[in-house]
């Protein structure tokens, strides 16, 4: 060994020749599937995007208006949640502002039998799966840890621990395969599962293990990473040095980056992935390239960790403005239609507010009710002791 082989003290650590790329703030790059430009004009279909564009050909004006209606109403659900927190009705609210198109596109691509495993920001997916928005409020108000029946709408409870749900989705999908509910050709029967997380979630072990399990079991699952660029205060270059969609290649299945602020592209790409999964062709990883316009939750202050120029750049990509401009140009909507939807949003907000304010506190003895499915001596003893103690205060 020559002296040249010995690195001098204090030398920089080698990166193995791979310098981290410049942080990709607002440009999704050439691989990103997009059908609506930021100004609402249609993007030309290319041979690469053609398989996805095929799903848009069958959509009529009525359905397109439905997309925009969902975007507007979901934004209203979110702003109402935010306001309720500020007024002390909710303890916390994780806003989806800016991510409406990513979620509505994915949500509308799902069939009723498809099952969604959300994180805790998927209010738009919940909306598309038919979960009443007021049901989402219970956990943020502190009256329960979920409060909706997952199996009523095939929308699992929110999962707070980042990434845990990705594995649940894969396991559920493994069950779907064992039930024979893939590849039958029966549109009512063939089932896929969607697993939602954010860019922060891609750093978790559970996320990576879910990709391994899905790959080796050929599970009918679609991983949907909403890269909203921030994990609380950490920019996504603290989570990865290559974009999430490229990671799929290393696990042996397709990865696609889609413009998450383009509801048509999000819808088409997800439809394609779900069709693959239902046909028994295995998993897909979709990265919806989007942006969280607000705070992570009502507890943090994004002005402490990000610059306003970045937020302004994304304002120009707003998913609702974009779809509105497109549909106006198409002659599919007019001012009267917008006014009607705004009125509907007002009614929805009133309904949510009333539901939140009149949500009863659960009786305290319910704490002991569902710890176990079968009788458990310790819980029974404690419940009885609690009831006895409480009864001492009755008069």
Partner 1 sequence: MSTQTSTATRMTIAKALNAGMRAAMERDPKVVLMGEDVGKLGGVFRITEGLQKDFGEDRVIDTPLAEAGIMGAAVGMALRGYRPVVEIQFDGFVYPAFDQIVSQVAKMHNRSLGALKVPMVIRIPYGGGIGAVEHHSESNESYFAHTAGLRVVTCSSTEDAYWMMQQAIASDDPVVFYEPKRRYHERGVLDLGAQGGALENAPHALDEAVVRVEGSDVTVLTYGPMVKVAHAAAQAAELEDGPSIEVIDLRSLSPLDTEVIEESVKKTGRCIALSEAQTFASITSELAAYVQEHCFYHLEAPVLRVGGYNIPYPPSRHEEVFLPDLDRVLHAVETLLAY
Positions that interact with partner 1 (CB under 8 A): 117, 144-147, 149-151, 156-157, 159, 161, 164, 166-176, 178-179, 205-206, 209-210, 212-213, 216, 369-374, 376-379, 381
**Given the residues 108, 141, 271, 296, the one annotated as active site:** 296
Among residues 193 and 263, whose Cβ is nearest to partner 1? 193
Among residues 232 and 367, whose Cβ is nearest to partner 1? 367
β-pairing verdict for 230-231 and 234-235: antiparallel
Q: How many residues does the chain have?
A: 395
Please give the C-alpha separations between residue 175 and each of 107, 203, 214, 228, 238, in angstroms, as whole numbers: 22, 26, 12, 31, 35
Minimum distance from residue 182 beta carbon to partner 1 (Å):
13
Least Cα distance to 119 among 44, 218, 223 occurs for 223
Least Cα distance to 295 among 35, 98, 17 occurs for 98
- Report the alpha-carbon distance of residue 238 to residue 231 in Å, rounded: 9
Minimum distance from residue 369 beta carbon to partner 1 (Å):
7
Please give the C-alpha separations between residue 19 and each of 66, 79, 182, in angstroms, as whole numbers: 45, 40, 42
- Report the alpha-carbon distance of residue 189 to residue 83 in Å, rounded: 41
- Report the alpha-carbon distance of residue 81 to residue 66 in Å, rounded: 22
Please give the C-alpha separations between residue 373 and each of 20, 155, 171, 376, in angstroms, as whole numbers: 50, 21, 21, 9
**At a CB cut-off of 8 Å and minimum separation 6, what does 294 contact?**
82, 95, 97, 98, 302
Minimum distance from residue 227 beta carbon to partner 1 (Å):
22
69 carries an active-site annotation: no
Minimum distance from residue 145 beta carbon to partner 1 (Å):
3
- Report the alpha-carbon distance of residue 59 to residue 354 in Å, rounded: 36
Among residues 23 and 178, whose Cβ is nearest to partner 1? 178
Minimum distance from residue 248 beta carbon to partner 1 (Å):
17
**Contact at 8 Å (CB) between 85 and 79?**
no
Among residues 7 and 212, whose Cβ is nearest to partner 1? 212
305 carries an active-site annotation: yes
The dihedrals phi and psi of 130, each to the nearest 5 degrees, come to: 90, 15
In this structure, what token pair is assigned to residue 346? 């007002």
Minimum distance from residue 223 beta carbon to partner 1 (Å):
13
108 carries an active-site annotation: no
**Given the residues 168, 271, 272, 292, the one annotated as active site:** 292
Minimum distance from residue 373 beta carbon to partner 1 (Å):
4
Among residues 213 and 314, whose Cβ is nearest to partner 1? 213
- Report the alpha-carbon distance of residue 302 to residue 305 in Å, rounded: 5
**Given the residues 42, 69, 246, 305, the one annotated as active site:** 305
**Contact at 8 Å (CB) between 195 and 170?**
yes
Among residues 71 and 248, whose Cβ is nearest to partner 1? 248
Among residues 212 and 343, whose Cβ is nearest to partner 1? 212
- Report the alpha-carbon distance of residue 271 to residue 304 in Å, rounded: 38
- Report the alpha-carbon distance of residue 265 to residue 48 in Å, rounded: 13
| Catalytic positions | 292, 296, 305
């Amino acid at each position: 060994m020559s002296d040249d082989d010995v690195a001098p003290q204090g030398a920089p650590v080698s990166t193995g020749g791979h310098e981290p790329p410049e942080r990709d703030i607002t440009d999704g790059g050439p691989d990103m599937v997009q059908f609506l430009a930021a100004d609402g004009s249609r993007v030309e279909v290319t041979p690469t995007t053609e398989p996805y564009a095929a799903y848009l050909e069958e959509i009529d004006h009525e359905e397109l208006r439905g997309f925009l209606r969902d975007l507007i109403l979901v934004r209203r659900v979110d702003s109402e949640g935010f306001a309720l927190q500020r007024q002390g009705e909710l303890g916390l609210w994780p806003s989806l502002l800016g991510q409406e198109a990513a979620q509505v596109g994915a949500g509308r691509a799902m069939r009723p039998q498809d099952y969604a495993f959300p994180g805790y920001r998927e209010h738009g997916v919940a909306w598309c799966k038919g979960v009443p928005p007021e049901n989402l409020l219970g956990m943020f108000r502190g009256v329960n840890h979920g409060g909706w029946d997952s199996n009523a709408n095939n929308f699992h409870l929110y999962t707070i621990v980042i990434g845990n749900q990705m594995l649940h989705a894969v396991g559920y999908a493994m069950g779907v395969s064992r039930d024979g509910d893939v590849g039958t050709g029966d549109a009512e029967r063939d089932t896929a599962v969607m697993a939602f997380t954010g860019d922060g979630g891609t750093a978790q072990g559970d996320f990576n293990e879910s990709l391994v399990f899905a790959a080796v079991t050929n599970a009918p699952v679609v991983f949907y990473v909403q890269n909203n660029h921030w994990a609380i205060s950490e920019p996504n270059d603290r989570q990865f040095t290559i974009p999430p969609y490229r990671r799929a290649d290393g696990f042996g299945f397709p990865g696609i980056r889609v413009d998450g602020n383009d509801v048509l592209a999000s819808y088409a790409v997800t439809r394609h992935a779900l069709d693959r999964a239902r046909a028994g062709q295995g998993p897909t990883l979709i990265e919806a390239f989007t942006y969280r316009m607000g705070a992570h939750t009502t507890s943090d202050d994004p002005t402490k960790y990000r610059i306003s120029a970045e937020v302004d750049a994304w304002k120009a990509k707003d998913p609702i403005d974009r779809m509105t401009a497109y549909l106006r140009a198409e002659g599919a909507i007019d001012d009267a239609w917008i006014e009607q939807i705004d009125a509907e949003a007002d009614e929805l907000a009133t309904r949510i507010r009333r539901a939140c304010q009149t949500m009863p506190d659960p009786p305290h003895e319910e704490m002991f009710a569902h710890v176990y499915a079968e009788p458990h001596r310790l819980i029974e003893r404690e419940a009885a002791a609690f009831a006895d103690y409480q009864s001492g205060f009755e008069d």
